[in-house]
Structures are given as C-alpha cells and as structure tokens.
Structure 1
C-alpha cells in the first residue's frame, strides 16, 4: 500500500506538458487546432499514448534520453514538482499546469530513481515513484484513467522562485 493512496482511489493530480499555442493567455480562450499540441490534446482528453512517440508529461520534456517509463502519463500531487517540467514553445509569460482527475487504481511502488519500470506488475494498475509523499510521481498506462479538470495559469517572478 502506498502512503495516502487506497486501491481504486480517484485523486486530483498535477500534469505538466508543453504548450505549442497560447491557450489560456489573455485573448486566447479557445483550444488550438494543432494535432501536435500536447496541452490542447490533453484538454480534449486525447491521450493516444502512441501518438507522441509514447511520451507524455515529465520525462519527455526533462531529459534528452528516452526510458521505458516514457510510455505512460506522468502526474504528481505536488504542483511544485510538475512546475519544473511545464514548457511553452511560444515564449509566453504564463506558465500552464493542468489539474486532472486521476484514477490511480492499485499503484505499484518503485524506487524514486527507477526509470526502467515499463509497466506495472500483475495486480497493479499504475506505478508510483517517490522519495516522500511530497515527491510522488504516478505513471499511468490507461488513457481513460485521466480527465482534465482545470487549466491553471500563473506568472513566475523574475527571480525564478515560486
């Protein structure tokens, strides 16, 4: 049992991705029509994990190498952790995160530095990596387990601290 998570549990977790457009910026209230914009496709609930080379969320944007864990959708209970991996390709002054409703099911706990776990073992629905409860990161492999609730936009102070 993972601390704070019960099997079948539905949670609100943060998701960071790349914005190819200005959705959410002042004057940009509509989703873009790009089929390659990860942010807009996430909002539309289009999680074809194979569509973007199998990479969603944190690892796809943070590292220049690909791991087997890239085959899932990464979410975290900590907005500060997700903030580190949010990107805008248009140079917007706004940073965007999505708060999602996520069914984690029965998560399999793995070490925080285990980037090789590809899919959960039999009897588990997702993977959770963590050093502590504030650093948890869930990896989901079923696109229907994630539904966006809110698009949150914020500006980061010039010092870069939050």
Structure 2
C-alpha cells in the first residue's frame, strides 16, 4: 500500500483522493470524459468499508445479512452531476440545513433495488449494457426517471415518486435478476437531497409532489409501513453513487 493508504485514488491507486471525489483529480477528469462508468473500489479502501458498513448495519430483516462481494463507484456525467448540484444548492438556500448541523441540502445516502438483466457488477463485468429493460444499467447510465414511477410495482404507496430506503434489506426485496445466471444481487446506494422531509405513517397514493413547504416524503415505520421509505419527486433530487454486489440471501 502506498503512503496515501485508505485515502488513495480508487483508480490509479497512486495518488490521494481529491476533495470532491474518490479519484485523484487527473483520474476524475478522465472518468468524467468516459462517464457514465463504474470503477471498482478496493476492499481495503475507506469508501469500501463505509459502504459495506452501511449495508450491514441497515439489514433489518430477520434473514442473515448476506456477504458484500464488490463495491463500485458510479461516475455520472458532468451534466448530470451539475443538475443535481444546482438542485441541492437551491434546497440548501431555502432550508439552511448546514446551520442546524445537517449536511448541505440535508443530503443522505439511501438504498434502491431494481431489476438487472445483464451481469454488470459480477467479476470483470463493468460495461453498461444496452438492454432497454435492464433497469439497473439505465439508472447508472441516465439516473432516475420519474416518468417510470409505478411501472415496476404497479402502484406507489406515496404516489408517483422515486423510492429509496435506509434499510438495505427492504431494498433487497426489489433487487431482481432477470434472464441471467448469477450468484450475486445488486443494490444501488444513492445520494438523495432530503431537504425538509414530511414525515408520514399512512399511505397517500395520489401524491405527485411533496406536500406544500416540503422537499420530500419521509415514511416512518408504523401504521401500514414496516420499514422506512424516502420518496422524492424530482429527477434532480437523486443520483446513483455506488453499486453494491452481494451474495444472494
């Protein structure tokens, strides 16, 4: 291990990470030109350990937490990143969350499970496929699309939004392999702008945006909900950040 140790660039592994990335600045610039791409995070890297810890600690179902096999950093396009940043800044300007000790825009990391129709994430497979029905690759390539809301499940407990959870085992229920032979499953860990979240415990399927004065819906366990959900209603409010591969439970 070089002198930068656990804070080294995950790509060249020879230089320190830049302040805004898990890559050094030269590698970050190259990755942006190639984006969207996924880059495997070394298992001894601090970011791998952070993501793995979040996966393990947030597995709240009675089943045994599966073993994390690989973690990939998702590099989105500069345009996509800028759209997210503009939205985050606007939410922060309205809510001044930094002043209350929260992250900028009350940004959090949340899980999302979806369908995978290729072997991206398996050993040696980092190419984004072109199958229009591979929801995982389409999210990595284009981020989330609010117009596709409800298509996977047929309904939305809190309306037409983009759903995530702090509970990895809940998102695992939506992670599906379709038409492929793999011993691994995939989850996305995403950056989400929570902003001022409206806490709810009861279904409200008619929502197409947060209640007035709020930026998101934060569904807490109780009532008809066993596990938490976070729902945003704008594409700009969420970006995929990590792809986590784990053994099938």
* Same fold flag (TM > 0.5): yes
Residue ranges of structure 1 left out of the alignment (5+ in a row): none
Q: 2:212 aligns with which of 112, 122, 139?
A: 122
CA contact (8 A) 2:143 2:239 kept: no
1:7 is displaced (CA, Å) by: 8.7
- Measured in 1, the distance between the counterparts of 2:187 and 2:159 equals 19
The range that moved more, 33-42 or 144-153, is: 33-42
TM-score (norm. length: structure 2): 0.52
- Measured in 1, the distance between the counterparts of 2:200 and 2:164 equals 15
Higher strand share: 1
1:21 paired residue number = 118
- Measured in 1, the distance between the counterparts of 2:198 and 2:132 equals 33
Partner deviation per Cα, 1:87-142 (whole Å, 9 max, x = no partner): 1112422110011111111111111x41525132110111111117x932101111
Higher helix share: 2
TM-score (norm. length: structure 1): 0.76
Partner deviation per Cα, 1:15-49 (whole Å, 9 max, x = no partner): 11111221112242100012332111111233232
Residue ranges of structure 2 left out of the alignment (5+ in a row): 1-101
Q: 1:135 aligns with which of 227, 236, 241?
A: 227
Q: Which one scores higher on RCO, CA 8 angstroms, separation ≥ 6?
A: 1
Secondary structure at the counterpart of residue 82 of structure 1: helix
Larger Rg: 2
